Structure 1
Amino acid sequence: MKNSHLIITIDGPAAAGKGTLSRRLAERYGLRHLDTGLTYRATAKALLDRGLPLDDEDLAVEVALNLDLSGLDRSVLAQHGVGEAASTVAVMPKVRRALVEAQRAFAKRPPGTVLDGRDIGTVVCPDARVKFYVTASPEIRAQRRYREIINQGGTAELPAILADLEKRDARDAGRADSPLRPADDAHMIDTSDQGIEEAFETAKSIIDAALAAD
Structure 2
Amino acid sequence: MHHMTIAIDGPAGSGKSTVAQELAERLGLLYLDTGAMYRAVAWLALQRGVSPQDSSSIVQLMRKSPIHLERTEQGNVEIWVGSNNVTRELRTPEVSNAVSAVSAHPDVRSELTTLQRELSSQHPVVMDGRDIGTVVLPHATVKVFLTASLEERAKRRRREFIESGFSSATEQVAAELAKRDEQDSSRTVAPLKPAQDAHRIDSTGKSVDEVVLEIMTIVEQTLSWRQ
Q: How far apart are 1:123 and its partner, in Å?
A: 0.6
Question: Does 2:54 correspond to 1:29?
Answer: no
Instruction: Between 198-207 and 64-73, report the one with greater CA deviation.
Output: 64-73
Name 2:152's counterpart in structure 1.
Answer: 140
CA distance in 2, matches of 1:189, 1:147: 22
Q: Find out whether 1:77 has 2:90 as its counterpart.
A: yes
Q: CA deviation at 1:57?
A: 2.9
Counterparts of 1:20-59 in structure 2, within 5 Å, are: 20-49=18-47, 51=48, 53-54=50-51, 56-59=54-57
Once residues 221 and 12 of structure 2 are traced to their aligned partners in structure 1, the CA distance between those partners, rounded to angstroms, is 28
With over 3 angstroms needed to count, the CA separation of the structure-2 counterparts of 1:126 and 1:60, relative to structure 1, is same
Residues 85/162 of structure 1: CA separation in 2 closer, same or farther (3 Å cut)? closer
Superposed, 1:126-137 pairs within 5 Å as 126-137=138-149
Partner of 2:135: 123
Q: Aligned residue for 2:82?
A: none
**Counterpart-to-counterpart distance in 1, 2:185 and 2:41:** 22
Paired letter, 2:152: I
Amino acid at match of 1:34: L
Q: 2:188 matched to 1:176? A: yes
2:74 paired residue number: none
SS in 2 for 1:78: coil
Q: How many Å apart are 1:30 and its aligned residue?
A: 1.1
Amino acid at match of 1:17: G
RMSD after superposition? 1.9
Offset from partner CA, 1:1-35 (integer Å, 9 cap, x none): xx112100000011111111100111111111111
What's the secondary structure of 1:23's corresponding residue?
Answer: helix
> 3-state SS of the aligned residue for 2:128?
strand
Whichever residue aligns with residue 211 of structure 1, its letter is: L
User: Paired residue for 1:7?
Assistant: 5
Offset, 1:153: 4.6
Kindly indicate whether the alpha-carbon contact (under 8 Å) linking 2:100 and 2:184 is maintained by their aligned counterparts in 1: no
User: What is the TM-score with the length of structure 2 in the denominator?
Assistant: 0.84
Tell me how far apart the structure 1 counterparts of residues 190 and 205 of structure 2 sit (CA, whole Å). 28
Quote how far apart the aligned CAs of 1:159 are.
1.2
Q: Name the residue aligned to 2:199.
A: 187
Tell me, yes or no, if structure 1 residue 207 matches structure 2 residue 198. Answer: no
Gap runs ≥5 in structure 2? 71-77, 80-85
CA distance in structure 2 between the partners assigned to 1:63 and 1:69 by the alignment? 17
Structure 1 gaps of 5+ residues are none
Name the CA shift for 1:97/1:189 in 2 (closer, same or farther; >3 Å).
same
State TM-score, norm by structure 1. 0.89
Q: Does the CA contact (< 8 Å) of 1:19 and 1:116 recur in 2?
A: yes
Deviations 1:50-98 (A, max 9, x none): x363455334224435221343143222223333443442222111111
Question: Which shows bigger deviation, 172-181 or 58-67?
Answer: 58-67
Residue-by-residue CA offset, 1:172-211 (whole Å, 9 max, x unaligned): 1111111111100001110112111111110011111212
